[in-house]
Every structure is written in structure tokens, then in C-alpha cells.
Amino acid sequence: MEIESGSYQNIAKKESWRTVLTLAYQSLGVVYGDLSISPLYVYKSTFAEDIHHSESNEEIFGVLSFIFWTITLVPLLKYVFIVLRADDNGEGGTFALYSLLCRHARVNSLPSCQLADEQLIEYKTDSIGSSSSMPQSGFAASLKSTLEKHGVLQKILLVLALIGTCMVIGDGVLTPAISVFSAVSGVELSMSKEHHKYIELPAACIILIGLFALQHYGTHRVGFLFAPVILLWLMCISAIGVYNIFHWNPHVYQALSPYYMYKFLKKTQSKGWMSLGGILLCITGSEAMFADLGHFSQLSIKIAFTSLVYPSLILAYMGQAAYLSQHHVIESEYNIGFYVSVPEKLRWPVLVIAILAAVVGSQAIITGTFSIIKQCSALGCFPKVKIVHTSSKIHGQIYIPEINWILMILCLAVTIGFRDTKRLGNASGLAVITVMLVTTCLMSLVIVLCWHKSVLLAIAFVVFFGTIEALYFSASLIKFLEGAWVPIALAFCFLLAMCTWHYGTLKRYEYDVQNKVSVNWLLSLSQTLGIARVRGLGLIHTELVSGVPAIFSHFVTNLPAFHQVLVFLCVKSVPVPHVRPEERFLVGRIGPKEFRIYRCIVRFGYRDVHKDDFEFEGDLVCSIAEFIRTEAATATAAETNGEDDDRMSVVGTCSTYMQGIEDHYESDLDDPNKPGTSEIRSPKPKKKSKSKIKKRVRFVVPETPKIEKETRQELMELTEAREGGVAYIMGNAYMKAKQGSGLVKRLAINIGYEFLRRNTRGPRNMLTSPNASTLEVGMIYHV
């Protein structure tokens, strides 16, 4: 599946309000599932230990005031009105902010970057129209220069982005646990404590196992149910909230005044500050509004939140506070929870809806975890993993088996280990607020470097929102021994793996650069070693964008033969979400024409979908054929004895220049005795056939005398090589630290990186190359 730039976010800008409202409705199930189910556990976590409900109602009204202003300032003001505008060509999330900074300040962590990458359309501009090449002055220019000069600052920026990413992964473990466990806890009011504890935990575990076990089917099969479930849940909690307000305390709206926050802190003092860790859970899932931006439009997400999600949550929390303000006798530790405020006759229906909503909210964070790991892997910051696209129509629906089972095991471990909402809430709260702090820090840089706004505005943003989030962060961190250590431990493990992999990847690339052989050596092989050229098309996979990799010299000196057409293939990621099909390939020639050696650089964005092997081979051959045809047509080709990377041309996928894809050759080409039967003809634009029958690709050469003979011969050889078979030659490098290396380097390379390399996917899996056509060449890298 080819992902083009015109995805949901761009479609919504051009289509009607009906489309925008449809997207807003669909966003309920994908974006707001986690945020919508927070009323299940906020009050219960807040009043778990630090503070107690009293006759004066100062505690409950103070908590309500904190909840109201926290939801208003963080999700509404920060995310809806500010952060959503910092999208990376329609994509959101921590790595989208980092990608913006990479382009505007040139702090890219990818080693194989080229100047040609900066000519990509999505590289040069973002959604608000600011260009990465716009002139900067004053503080912004000096800040950009400082970041570009000091590698330490670039590493700190990368680590900051990775910390946010690791906490999102930790949230993917903790959110399903606390959501499902809190939803199932509704059975506590229907049976005795001695009995419900034997049902609550097993039921939560069964639901969690089922949730993760069904991930490989994808959400597109049942995704149409997600939005109705969350819509029904929001209508349910808002209706119950309105009932409780008018039935128990119509004056509860007065507690929305900030004065009640002051009274709350004055009375509870340090205990009240510690209880903020529970209040923090009311904004769990706010980051999803930004992270899932790529599936919807800014306007649709804003409409859904401001018109439905925000008022429903406020009414739900006000209704719970109104009920509790008239019920001060706590018969058990469970009666401060959500279900106690639900009318008794509605508890079982609400319990069912709550469990469904918890599953939907958990599904959203799990899918988001898969998505952000894919982004990290594309940018070289996470080991290669198998990525399964569960839908051919819906962009972003992916499944990563290894990560799915790791998340399931960890989720069951924390659920069984903690067995209560209090410690699960402490753990989840720290993960949520850490991601928000990272977003605030990165946003301040985006305001200056990408939006070209005043540094005072960036400082004001950091001070205002940073102060609020730092207050909640400190309250969560103080609960380190009561559950908050879990996200820190998870983040540390994932961060260690990410940094080790990134360090090993950079060292491997440096070794390739330092040990690459010259093109002249390659061109002289036929004279010195008697190299034989065999029929077929050889694809030499390399990370290098120039030169000949050492892995190929190792191969050819031990097996002195290679294919009649040789392509040095580099598949790399660039720091943009999508690369347009017409800009996908960079194609160049190595040596004289008669050598038939090419270099092809295939560029993907960090959200792009890689094609299967057959389709990829077709596009690759098409791009080389178009390069040959264009080179001849423009008469710019010249015989050279060396490689000139400056002569590489941007060539799109075959859809941009194929004349047609037909089931059979035309009748005039079927006659083998007719002149020009085997010639390759030049294309005119034509739409692709929708038939699922296997197709054949034809290339066309203009009937020009100047290129009639030489170019036709080259194109015919390319076609014959493709028909003779495509062989993938890949390097399988074993890395070892050099003798005399430090202890840290030896641990990182010999143990850490090699462990990750052996237990994750190799380049063959990433290219989806067929097993029968793949040749792996082993080589030891001493770095």
C-alpha cells in the first residue's frame, strides 16, 4: 500500500463540513477512549490514602476544582489550541516534534542524510507554511547555530524525545491495566468483599488476555463499533452526572471556583499536594489527541473535544462530587469510587458499557504504542521488528507481534502484582505527566525554531504549563515506592535498549563509511580477478549512499561473479512522515554505461508503508528504466570512469510514468518475427487497472534516432535481467568492539547490541525479500 501525502488531514481541509463532522465522530473511538474512561478511577485514586472525605466537603469540592481547571488548562488550552498546530505535515506525537526540529535546526540523528533529502516537498514546509530554509535572526539564529555545533546538545535532544517515547510505551502497559481493572471493579457493590476479590482480578486478566490476543486481527474489523461505544459511554456518564447534580446538590457548580483549590490546600497541606497524583489521572489520554493526529484533522479533533468530550467529562465529575457531598458515611473503602454514584438500577448496564469503553480506550493506547515504535525503528532508534499492516485501506492500522506479547506479559504482571487502583494510578500518572513535560520542552523549541516566534512566548509557554506539570510530576514522583517506580523501570529498560541500538547503528555506519572501497576498484575487477557476469538482476543492500560497501568487496573476492545488471540499493528513512511517490527514488549510474551498474536510494518517511517484494521490485525496475529513458531523452548523460553522486536523479514510482499494466502484450508485439517485437516502448500516463490478475509491465522508449540503438539495448538488458531473476545480496554483520575499547563500549557492542541484533529482524525481513532469492554475506565488524 502506497501512502501519499493526501491523507485524512488534507482531505478534511478540502471537503465539506459533513466530512469534518464524520471524522470528529470517528475520532471518539480512536482518540478519546482513554480520556473518556478516566472518571472510573480519578476520585477513587485521589481519596485512596492521603486525604479523606469529611463533613465540610472542602476536600471533595477542592478536588473537583482541581479537576476542572486541570482539564481546562492542559487538554483544552495546551493541546487543542496550541500543540495541535505543531503537526509534522499532518502527523503528531513526540517524534513529530523531534522531526520538525531535525529539519529546521539540522540536528538529524540519521547518519545517511543527504542534501537531496532537503529538497523533498514535505521536508521544506510544514502544515502552517513555515519553511525550514526561512531566514532566522536574533535568538533563534543563535539557538539554531548552537544546536548544530554541539553534538552533546543534539544527543540530549534525542534522549529527551526517547524518554517521552519510552513513557508512552510504559503507558501502553499501565493504561489497559488500570482501565480494565477499574471497570471490572464495579462488581464490588453487587457482592461481598470476600467474594468479589475472587472475581475482580481473574475477570480483568481474562479481558486483558483477550484484548492482546485479538490484536493481530486489526481494529478495522470491529473499529466501526469504537465510536458508538465511546459516544454511548459519554452520554451515559453525562446523563448520570446531570441527574446527580439536580438530585443531590444543584449548587455544586460553585466548586469550580479556584478559591476551593486554595481552601483544599490550606486544609490538607502536604497530604493535599500528595493527592494530586490521583487528580492527575483526569487528563490521562490527552497526549492521544496529538499522537493520533495523523488519522484525522485538527478541526475534527477540536470539534469532538470541545463539543462533546469536554462537557461530558465535566458533568460526570460534577455529578460524582454532588453525590459525595451528600454522602459522608463511608461504609467501605470502595464507596468513594465511580459506581457508588450510579443509581442502583443502572449499575449493571453501566458496568457493561464501562468494560466496553475500557477495552476501546486500551485498544487506542496499544495501537498508539505500535505506531510510535514503528516511528522509532524507522529513525534508527529501535531494533528492527516485524510490522504487520492489518488493513490495506486504513492508514496506521499496524500490529507488531513481539511488542504485543511483551506488553501483554507486562500488563498482566502489574495487574496481578498491584491488584488495586491506587498503585496502578500512581504508576500511570507518572508516565502520563512525563510525556507531557517532554512535549512542553520540545514545543518551546518548536515555537522559536519552527514557528519563528518570540523567545518570550516560548518562555511563557514553558513557565505556565511547565509549572502546572512540574507540580503534578513532583506529586507523582513522591509515590515512587507505592507504584511510581514501575514506569521509571520500564522507561529505563526501553531507553537502554534504544540508546544501545542507536549507538551500535551509528558505529556500524561509521565502519561502513571508513571501509568502503572506491568505485575505481569495482571497475577494475574484470581485469584483475576475471570477474564473470551472470544473467539476472543483483540488488546489493547497503546503508551507504555513496561508494561501494565493504560487504560487497568481501563477497566478490570470495565468489568472483556478479549479475549482468547490478544495483546498489539503499533503503533509508528521512525525518518526514511521508515521501511522495514521485520523489521516492534517487537513481544514478556507477561507471560507464556498458557496466550496467546503478545506485538506487529509496526514501521512506517514518509513517510510510513499505511495499511487498514483488511490487517493490516492479517499482525499482521502473525507476531505473525511467532514469535510463530520461537520461537519454534529455541528452545529459556522459561517459564517465567514476561515480558522480551529483548526477543522481529523482525518479518517482512506476505509477507516475507507466503507460499501462496489461494482462498480455498487444497483438502487434505477439509476433516474434515482426520488427520491434521485443522492444521496450515509451509510456504515456494511464490509470492503473483495478483487476487483481497478475500484471506485466512494459516500458517505452521514444522513437528517437539518437537513442534508438544504445538506449534500447540498455533497456532490453534491464528487462532480460529482471526476467532472469532478482537476487538480494545482504550483509549480516557481526559487531565486536576493538581491543583496548572501554568497558562501557564493550558492554554496549559485544553484549547489548549483539543481543538485540540476534533477537530482532534483519534487513531481509525489513525488505520482505523472498527466501529463495536472498543471499546473506557474513562479516565481522571491529568497531
Instruction: Please state at what angle helix 151-184 crosses helix 485-515, rounded to 10 degrees.
Output: 140
What pLDDT, in 10s, does the model give residues 345-393? 888 899 999 999 999 888 888 888 888 888 888 888 888 888 887 766 6
For residue 114, the model assigns a pLDDT of: 67
Does 411 share its domain with 310? yes
- Banded pLDDT at 197 (limits 50, 70, 90): low
Distances (CA, A) of 4 to 90, 170, 581, 585: 12, 31, 7, 14
CB 773 within 8 A of CB 728: yes
Do 427 and 525 belong to one domain?
A: no
Assess whether pLDDT exceeds 70 at residue 39: yes
Is the pLDDT assigned to residue 331 strictly greater than 60? no
Q: Residue 39 maps to which CATH number?
A: 1.20.1740.10
Please state, in angstroms and rounded to a whole number, the distance separating the CA atoms of residues 470 and 428: 16
Question: Please, are residues 730 and 719 in contact by the beta-carbon 8 Å criterion?
Answer: no
If asked whether residues 325 and 421 sit together in one domain, one would say yes
Would you say residue 698 lies in a domain? Answer: no
Other CB atoms within a 10 A radius of the CB of residue 697 amount to: 19
* pLDDT above 90 coverage of the chain, percent: 27
Q: How far apart are CA 170 and CA 491, in angstroms?
A: 6
Query: What DSSP line would sit under 474-486, residue for residue?
Result: HHHHTTGGGTTHH
Tell me the average pLDDT across 44-60: 82
Q: Does residue 119 register a pLDDT over 80?
A: no
What pLDDT score does 297 carry?
79
CA distance from start to end of the chain: 38
The larger pLDDT score, comparing residue 281 to residue 695, is at: 281
Span 225-268, pLDDT tens digits: 788 999 999 999 999 999 999 999 999 999 999 999 999 999 88
**Section 668-677 average pLDDT:** 38
Supply the pLDDT for residue 194: 62
Q: Which three cell numbers stand for residue 209?
A: 488476555
Overall number of domains in the chain:
2
Picking from 623, 625, 589, 626, the residue whose alpha carbon sits closest to that of residue 603 is 623
Residue 421 lies in a domain: yes
Please give the pLDDT value at position 642. Answer: 45
Same-domain status, 613 and 740: yes
Across 622-651, average pLDDT: 66
Based on the domain organization, do 206 and 288 belong to the same domain?
A: yes
Is there a contact between 747 and 700 (Cβ–Cβ < 8 Å)? Answer: no
Distances (CA, A) of 428 to 171, 370, 597, 743: 6, 18, 55, 35
Quickly state the pLDDT bin for 46 (edges 50, 70, 90).
confident
List, in sequence order, every residue forming a beta bridge with 733; answer none if it has no partner.
Answer: 779
pLDDT at 438: 94
Q: What is the pLDDT of residues 460-512, one digit of tens each?
A: 999 999 999 999 999 999 989 888 999 999 999 999 999 999 999 889 888 88
At residue 65 the predicted structure's pLDDT band, cuts being 50, 70 and 90, is: very high
The verdict on residue 661 lying in a domain is no
Task: Provide mean pLDDT across the span 572-590.
Answer: 85
Closest CA to 163 of 348, 394, 472, 439: 439
Q: Which domain holds residue 740?
A: 510-635+707-782
Each residue of 36-53: b (16+ CB within 10 Å) or e? bbbbbbbbbbbbbebbeb
For 325-339, the DSSP string reads TT----SSTTTTSSG
Query: Which residue among 466, 482, 498 closes a domain?
Result: 482
CA–CA distance from 246 to each of 202, 237, 239, 240, 322 (Å)? 38, 14, 11, 10, 9
| Residue 519 and residue 387 in one domain | no
pLDDT (0 to 100) of residue 678: 33
- CB–CB of 746/737 below 8 Å? yes
291-322: per-residue pLDDT in tens? 777 667 788 889 999 999 999 999 999 999 99
pLDDT of residue 652: 64
Please list, in sequence order, all residues whose beta carbon lies within 8 angstroms of the beta carbon of residue 415, skipping any fewer than 6 positions away.
177, 180, 181, 201, 204, 205, 208, 424
Best mean pLDDT range from 437-441, 527-531, 541-545: 437-441
For residues 80 and 228, state if they share a domain: yes
Give the residues across from 131 on adjacent strands. 125
Q: How high is the pLDDT of residue 764? A: 54
Select the more confidently predicted residue: 105 or 8. 105
Q: Is residue 221 part of a domain?
A: yes
- Residue at 700 is within a domain: no
Is 290 in contact with 59 (CB distance < 8 Å)? no
Residue 544 pLDDT > 50: yes
Q: 206 pLDDT band (50/70/90 cuts)? A: very high
- Same domain flag for 477 and 514: no
Say how far apart CA 371 and CA 388 lie, in whole Å.
11
Residue 44 contacts residue 338 (beta carbons within 8 Å): yes
Confidence of residue 125 (pLDDT cuts 50, 70, 90): low
- The pLDDT assigned to 196 comes to 64
CA distance 441 to 470: 12
Tens of pLDDT, residues 722-777 = 888 888 888 888 889 988 888 999 999 999 999 988 888 765 555 566 666 788 88
Per-residue confidence (pLDDT) for residue 15, from 0 to 100: 52
Q: Is the dihedral of CA 400, 403, 406, 411 positive or negative?
A: negative
- In this prediction, residue 220 carries a pLDDT of 62
For residues 374 and 280, membership in a common domain is answered with yes
Q: Is the pLDDT of residue 133 over 70?
A: no
Residue 188 forms part of a structural domain: yes
* Beta-strand runs (E) in 606-739: 649-651, 661-662, 696-697, 726-736
pLDDT for the residue numbered 236: 95
Distance CA 490, CA 502 (A): 18
Task: Please state, in angstroms and rounded to a whole number, the distance separating the CA atoms of residues 246 and 279.
Answer: 24
Residue 115 to residue 660: CA distance in whole angstroms = 33
Residue 688 belongs to some domain of the structure: no
Per-residue confidence (pLDDT) for residue 668, from 0 to 100? 37
Instruction: Assess whether pLDDT exceeds 80 at residue 70.
Output: yes
pLDDT for 323 equals: 92
Note whether 560 and 449 are same-domain residues: no
Q: Between residues 120 and 637, which one has the greater pLDDT?
A: 120
CB 435 within 8 A of CB 372: no
- Give a three-class secondary structure readout of 692-709: CCCCEECCCECCCHHHHC
Q: What is the structure's pLDDT at 546?
A: 81
Average per-residue pLDDT for the chain: 79
Look up the pTM and report it. 0.82
DSSP string for 364-376: HHHHHHHHHHHHH
Which set of grid coordinates corresponds to residue 567? Answer: 544495483
Together in a domain, 474 and 516: no
Looking at residue 128, its pLDDT comes to 52
Cell of 743: 568497558
pLDDT of residue 572: 86
Is residue 447 over pLDDT 80? yes
In a domain, 444, yes or no: yes
Are 535 and 437 part of one and the same domain?
A: no
In this model, does residue 650 exceed pLDDT 90? Answer: no
What is the average pLDDT across 578-596? 84
